[in-house]
Chains A and B, each alone.
Chain A
Amino acid sequence: MLLIPCPWCGQRDEIEFRYGGAAHVEYPADPETVDDATWARYLFVRPNPKGPLAERWCHSQGCRRWFNIVRDTVTHQIMRSYRMEEAP
């Protein structure tokens, strides 16, 4: 069980949260003009590092806000937790 620091509510149990995948995946500026390969890369390709990964979580059973954390995928150590409007 992870203890996840919600930027609003503080440390809460993992069961209160919903996982939202990798953070900072950039939406194509002009989606009408990108080719299929670029679009597919945007839709399906995600980082899968062995180490720190920025990811989105939603405090679904609490304040229901989305936020980002940086989590080490090996040790589960959470290095940082920050609001959506804060810089990565």
Chain B
Amino acid sequence: MARKHAILDGFASRFSGVASSSGGRIALREVPFSAQLDFRANPADGRVVDSVHKALGFVLPTDPNTAATAGGRSALWLGPDEWLIVGGEGEESLLTRVLHTALGETFGSVVDVSANRTVIEVSGSAARDVLAHGCPVDLHPRDFGTGRCAQTLLAKAQVIIHQVNDAPTFHLFVRTSFAWYLAEWLLDAMTEYCAEEPIGVSVPLGGQESPSPLRG
């Protein structure tokens, strides 16, 4: 059986260097392999909404750019009839079954998009400032707090930003093909919040720190 390979494996040491050199003001890590399902259903269909609520513990959010979380799983608003259901590693088939059952015979769809995006977790008191370096959405707490999500561009890469707690901690859902680029950009944007330069910005692509995803 093939070994699972997180796209940002090679960044682990540079990621962990940020937390210490920034004096705890910022930390980042990859949260790989989360189960992600694109769920489309009619939000006005009370039976579907109730069924999801009973099974997963949250009500599918209908306010644009909001998320609902329960039991470590979340539903992120993607559109008026579309959500990204996020669960832990290996929960794809469980969530697929739950959502299929909720849909029943009604019009909708459940698609496993787990391989589409990886998650970069950015947290700490300076996290908001780092993201603001490259994000056109207003991330000020009066406008963007815990439980908010947004699909937007971060340094020209399409991302879904989800604020998961008041630390603040942000989950950045980024396409795996953009993950390296975004990780490099984040490390660069974090330089000014770090005491020295421990994050090896000068390591060239293809060097020891960044194994090619095409290998192994």
How far, in Å, is A69 (CB) from chain B's closest CB?
A: 17
| Interface pick from B89-97, B149-157, B202-210 | B149-157
Asked if A65 meets B79 with Cβ closer than 8 Å, knowing A12-B152, A15-B153, A16-B152, the reply is: yes
Complex alpha-carbon distance, A15 and B135, angstroms = 11
Q: Is there a chain A Cβ closer than 8 Å to B64's Cβ?
A: yes
* Complex: A8 Cα to B152 Cα, angstroms: 13
Check if B23 is an interface residue, CB within 8 A of chain A.
no
Docked Cα-Cα span, A3 to B205, in Å, equals 36
Complexed CA–CA distance, A34 and B151 (Å): 43
Give the contact stretch, choosing among A22-30, A35-43, A56-64: A56-64
Cα A8 to Cα B78 in complex, Å, equals 10
Taking a contact as CB atoms under 8 Å apart, the answer to whether A9 and B153 are in contact is no
Would you give the shortest CB distance from A7 to chain B, in whole angstroms?
Answer: 9
- The smallest beta-carbon distance between A11 and chain B, in angstroms, is 9
Option from B137, B151, B153, B158 in Cβ contact (under 8 Å) with A63:
B151
| Total number of residue pairs linking A and B with CB closer than 8 Å | 36
- Indicate if the CB atoms of B150 and A9 lie closer than 8 Å: yes
CB of B152 within 8 A of CB of A63, answer no
Which B residues are CB-close (under 8 A) to A16?
Answer: 136, 152-153
Checking B78, B79, B80, B137 against A12 with a beta-carbon cut-off of 8 angstroms, the contacting residue is: B137
Compute how far the CA of A15 lies from the CA of B137 in the bound complex, rounded to whole angstroms: 12
| Interchain nearest-CB distance for B29 vs A (Å) | 25
Distance in angstroms between the alpha carbons of A45 and B153 in the assembled complex = 34
Q: Does B65 count as interface, using CB distance less than 8 angstroms?
A: yes
Q: Once the chains are docked, how many angstroms separate the CA of A8 from the CA of B80?
A: 8
Are B152 and A61 in touch, CB under 8 angstroms? yes
Q: What's the Cα separation between A64 and B137 when bound, in Å?
A: 16
Chain A residues numbered 49-77 whose CB sits less than 8 Å from any CB in chain B: 61-65
Chain B 141-155 interface residues, beta-carbon cutoff 8 Å to A? 150-153
Contact yes or no, B64 A12, CB < 8 A: no
Q: Which of A13, A15, A63 contacts B64 (CB 8 A)?
A: A63
- Of B65, B80, B150, B158, the residue contacting A65 (CB under 8 A) is B80
Candidates A10, A13, A61, A63; contact of B78 at CB < 8 Å:
A63
Q: Once bound together, how far apart are the Cα atoms of A57 and B152, in whole Å?
A: 16
Beyond A13-B136, A13-B153, A62-B150, 12 additional pairs, beta carbon < 8 A: A8-B80, A9-B150, A10-B65, A12-B152, A16-B136, A16-B152, A16-B153, A62-B151, A62-B152, A63-B79, A64-B151, A65-B80
The 4 A-B residue pairs with the shortest CB-CB distance, nearest first, are A13-B136, A8-B64, A62-B151, A63-B79
Binding site for B on A (CB under 8 A): 8-10, 12-13, 15-16, 61-65
A-B contact pairs, 13 of them (CB 8 A): A8-B64, A8-B80, A9-B64, A9-B150, A10-B64, A12-B137, A12-B152, A16-B152, A61-B152, A62-B150, A63-B79, A63-B80, A65-B79
